Amino acid sequence: MAVSVLARFYTFGDGFFDFNLKYLFIVGLWPEEDLNETQRFFYKGYETTLHVFTVLLFIITGIGLYENRDDLTAFLTNLDKTLVAYNFFFKTVPFVYKRDKLKELIEEIKNSGDVVTEERKQLMYKGTITITGISVVLISVFSLVAIFEGEMSIEAWMPFDPLEDRMKLILSAQILAALFLPGLFRAFAMQGLVCCLIIYLCDQLVDVQKKMRNIKYTEDGAVEVRKKFREAIKKHVRLMRYAQEMEQIFKEYFLVQHLAITVELCLNAIMVTVVSDITLLVSFLVYLGLALLNAYIYSYLGNELIIQSQGIAMAGYEAPWTSWPLDMQKDLLILIRAAQRPLALSAGGMELMSIQTFSKALYNGYSIFAVLNDMVD
């Protein structure tokens, strides 16, 4: 029985982050420490090349936007699709800039001795694979529909006329896919790691709550009880520090996400009012649905972090503290007061990542649309 229980748990060194870090390595965002000098040089070149791909996508689609400036439907369609790439790219910038700090944090977590369940590991990599797969399939479907209708999936400049024949149209689609997909894969690789870290914090806060509620003081076991109490407090302090470091690392990342979803909502609301083509409307709504899903995942996990961190105070109150010695009661009071200030992640230090913030982003997007619509009328 003991063996079967232990088999369900593993340390972070056994692989909780392994899938996400390997994914990041594949997409050129996580150079491994054991690379030699030559391998590091080539990996840096690979990373830079993928950055350049995204910049090239911005250039050729920017030209496409300019060329279609007089066609409102084509302009809005292109803008909606290119905004997705901008969102992916501008989240990559702060991630790369603060990657070294993130590596230090992850390394400390790996060495912390904290454990998680096998179910959590399954959840993390299955969730990342699923959302990546769904996005690739949907984008591929709309690209194939565009080719079938003799159109480009995104209006972009090409060194040849893509509408001259079917083969050139397919070639243009392949070029756009080669420039767009690296950014998409990078975005979901980063999302997987960010979600992994937040889930880790939530799970460990739940563990601290359980430990607090299970502390029962007896004179015979006083030494052991005090030890467990000190360990629970130390773990809570450590988790508070992890959350603060994550806030500093990801605040720009979440700010880009928050702004992107607001603009995306506003743009899609405008397009629904001016576009009559059913196929285009479906594509708009699908892209909007994916954007909302990604934003909701961050908001839900951020909200869960707030709830579980506040749960420490309730767990301390629900502990059998009336039988504790006075010094332990005083320490518990300090813990409860500290836990009343929730751990939270923010978008640029301005908005907390929570369900309320997600709702506010929806409201802001609609408000901007309403103002623009009134101005047009």
pLDDT in tens, 2-36: 333 333 333 344 567 888 899 999 999 998 888 88
Round to whole Å and give the CA distance between 76 and 65: 9
| Residue 4, pLDDT score | 36
CB atoms within 10 A of CB 185: 21
| Residue 9, pLDDT score | 34
Instruction: Say what the alpha-carbon torsion angle 61, 63, 68, 70 is, to the nearest 10 degrees.
Output: 140
| Residue 12, pLDDT score | 40
What the block records as the tokens of 62 is: 């920017």
pLDDT in tens, 105-148: 999 998 888 877 777 778 777 888 888 888 888 888 878 887 88
pLDDT in tens, 300-345: 999 999 999 999 988 888 888 888 888 888 888 888 888 888 889 8
Q: Contact, 41 vs 198, CB < 8 A?
A: no
Residue at 14: amino acid letter: D
Place of tokens 């972070």: 12
Round to whole Å and give the CA distance between 205 and 198: 11
| Residue 317, pLDDT score | 86
> Is the per-residue pLDDT at 102 higher than 90?
yes
| Residue 275, pLDDT score | 67
Domain positions in the chain are 2-376
> Is the per-residue pLDDT at 152 higher than 90?
no
367 vs 133, higher pLDDT: 133
Q: Contact, 263 vs 365, CB < 8 A?
A: yes
pLDDT in tens, 248-272: 999 999 988 888 887 777 777 777 6
What is the average pLDDT across 86-97? 89
pLDDT in tens, 42-82: 999 999 999 999 899 989 988 888 887 777 777 777 777 78
| Residue 285, pLDDT score | 74
- Name 251's Cβ contacts closer than 8 Å, sequence gap at least 6: 345, 346, 347, 348, 349
181 vs 290, higher pLDDT: 181
| Residue 140, pLDDT score | 84
What the block records as the tokens of 135 is: 């996005």
Place of tokens 């006075």: 326
- Name 339's Cβ contacts closer than 8 Å, sequence gap at least 6: 236, 309, 310, 312, 313, 316
pLDDT in tens, 160-192: 888 888 888 888 888 888 998 898 899 999 999
Q: What percent of the chain has pLDDT over 90?
A: 24
What b-and-e string marks burial along 233-256, b requiring 16 or more CB atoms within 10 Å of the CB? bebbebbbebbebbbebbbbbbbb
Round to whole Å and give the CA distance between 330 and 324: 10
